[in-house]
Structure 1
Amino acid sequence: MNSVSVRALLVRGMLAGLVAGALALAVAYFLGESRVDAAIALEESHAHDHGGGEELVSRTMQATGGLATGVLVFGVAIGGIAALVFCYVLGRIGSFGPRATAALVAGAALLTVYVVPFLKYPANPPAVGNPDTIGQRTGMFFLMVALSVLLAVAAVIFGKRLAPRLGNWNATTAAGAGYVLLIGLAYAFLPSFNEVGTDFPASLLWEFRLSTLAVQATLWTAFGLVFGYLTERLLVPAARTASSAGDRTAPRPADAVS
């Protein structure tokens, strides 16, 4: 793939990430912010009881400008990174077209970057968690992300090397089983944090975590669909044009005989 195609795909990936970020922003605002407000109300009630401090950034700014900036910038960033991954894996993971490859990249990213770390270290709303351990909890979450991504890459490489001997299906199954096993070991040996107070409503905690999962699912699903559409419009006509040019330059049977 030449540099022009990579640049064009990078731009389309960032554009798709922006569109996906806008849709994820809508989900985060309409589905998640009410849960955040409820959690903050609980936090403020305890702060008044114990003499809490004044907030540095207003809640209105957090729920509007801050949320929009964070989600949209994140969408553009992950769109660019996913586009580069797409450039590398296209044609290397089977005979998948641009749309199917984009869907596979988006699905793998959702699974490895968010779902697997989320199952070990789920998101917590305000008023949940010990402030003294926030640095350790954040570090463990990003360590889990790194482990998940690296093990997924290793599983793909392992599966491709096993494919000539075991066949694609058996090799994929073996690689997937190895990934699940190693992730399970990481779950078992990495520290866990159970800092949810007994007075925090379990239903609110569950709804908040589901809303964060919905935001990520919307982001990656929308990215896969939009980016797949854009890449197919870019790459499929170019491939057809190159094929037509090759057919015109190839000698016809009559010319070859003469």
Structure 2
Amino acid sequence: MNSAIVRNLLVRGMLAGLAAGLLALVVSYFLGEPSVDAAIAFEEAHAHGGEHGEELVSRTMQSTAGLSTGVLVYGVAFGGIAALAYCFALGRIGRFGPRASALLLAAAGLIAVFLVPFLKYPAQPPAVGDPDTVGQRTALYFLMVVLSVLLAVATVILGKRLVPRLGNWNATLAAGAFFVLVVGFAYAFLPSYNNVPEHFPAAVLWEFRLAALAVQVTLWTAFGLVFGVLAERVLAPRTAAPGEPAGQAAPVPH
């Protein structure tokens, strides 16, 4: 794949990430913010001595401009990285078209980058978690992300090598079992944290984590659908016009 195509896919990946970020922003605002507000109210009600730290940024600013900036910037960066991963994976994961490849990449990314780490270290709203362990919990979460991504790559490589010996179906099952087994070992050996305050509302915690899951599912799904369409315009042959030979490749835009 030449550099012009990679550049075009990178730009389209960032645009797809921006579009996915807009949808994720809507989901985050309507599903996530109410549980964040409830968690903050709990934290303030149970603050020692009724004292609260000085609020440097208002809650209104955090839930509007701050949330929008964070989600959209993340969407653009996420889209660019995913597009580069798409360029690397294209043709190496099977004979799939641009749209199918984008959706497969999105599904794999959702599982490896978010779902596997999330099941071990789920998202926590304000007032949940010991402040003294924030650094350690953050490091462990990103370690789980790195392990999951590397394991996903190893699983794909293993599956491809097993195909000549076992066939597509059995090779896929064997590689999937390998992935689940190693993830299970990681879950068992990495430390866990249960720092939920005794009287913290279980419904708020549940709603917050469901909202975090909904945001990521929206982000990855929207990216896969939008980027698949945009990538197809770069990679797939255009329909031949009258008088032109069929199957002529579409020119790469600059």
For residues 64-115 of structure 1, the C-alpha deviation after alignment (integer angstroms, 9 at most, x for no partner) is 1111111111111111111111111112211110000000000100010001
Counterpart of 2:223 in structure 1 is: 223
Cα pair 1:12 1:227 within 8 Å, conserved: yes
Cα distance, 1:54 vs. partner?
Answer: 1.6
Counterpart of 2:208 in structure 1 is: 208
Counterpart of 2:99 in structure 1 is: 99
Map residues 100-249 of structure 1 onto 2, 5 A cutoff: 100-237=100-237, 244-245=247-248
For residues 124-183 of structure 1, the C-alpha deviation after alignment (integer angstroms, 9 at most, x for no partner) is 110111100011111110010000000010111111111111111111111111111000
Counterpart of 1:82 in structure 2 is: 82
Q: TM-score of the superposition, structure 1-length normalised?
A: 0.91
Over the matched positions of the two proteins, sequence identity in percent amounts to 70
Residues 242 and 56 of structure 1: CA distance in aligned 2, closer, same or farther (over 3 Å): farther
Higher helix share: 1
Cα pair 1:47 1:53 within 8 Å, conserved: no
Counterpart of 1:57 in structure 2 is: 57
Residue 204 of structure 2 aligns with an amino acid whose one-letter code is: L
The answer for unaligned runs of 5 or more in structure 2 is: 250-254
Cα distance, 1:50 vs. partner?
Answer: 4.6
Moved more, 60-69 or 139-148: 60-69
- Structure 1 CA distance for aligned equivalents of residues 245 and 9 of structure 2: 18
Residues 242 and 84 of structure 1: CA distance in aligned 2, closer, same or farther (over 3 Å): farther
- Structure 1 CA distance for aligned equivalents of residues 212 and 93 of structure 2: 30
Aligned residues: 246
Residue 178 of structure 1 aligns with an amino acid whose one-letter code is: F
Cα distance, 1:52 vs. partner?
Answer: 2.9
Counterpart of 1:251 in structure 2 is: none
Cα pair 1:112 1:145 within 8 Å, conserved: yes
Cα pair 2:98 2:232 within 8 Å, conserved: yes
Runs of 4+ in 1 over 4 A off after TM superposition: 238-243
Cα distance, 1:191 vs. partner?
Answer: 0.4
Residue 18 of structure 2 aligns with an amino acid whose one-letter code is: L
- Structure 2 CA distance for aligned equivalents of residues 157 and 49 of structure 1: 57
- Structure 1 CA distance for aligned equivalents of residues 48 and 135 of structure 2: 25
Cα pair 2:17 2:78 within 8 Å, conserved: yes
- Structure 2 CA distance for aligned equivalents of residues 49 and 203 of structure 1: 26
Cα distance, 1:212 vs. partner?
Answer: 0.5
Residue 230 of structure 1 aligns with an amino acid whose one-letter code is: L
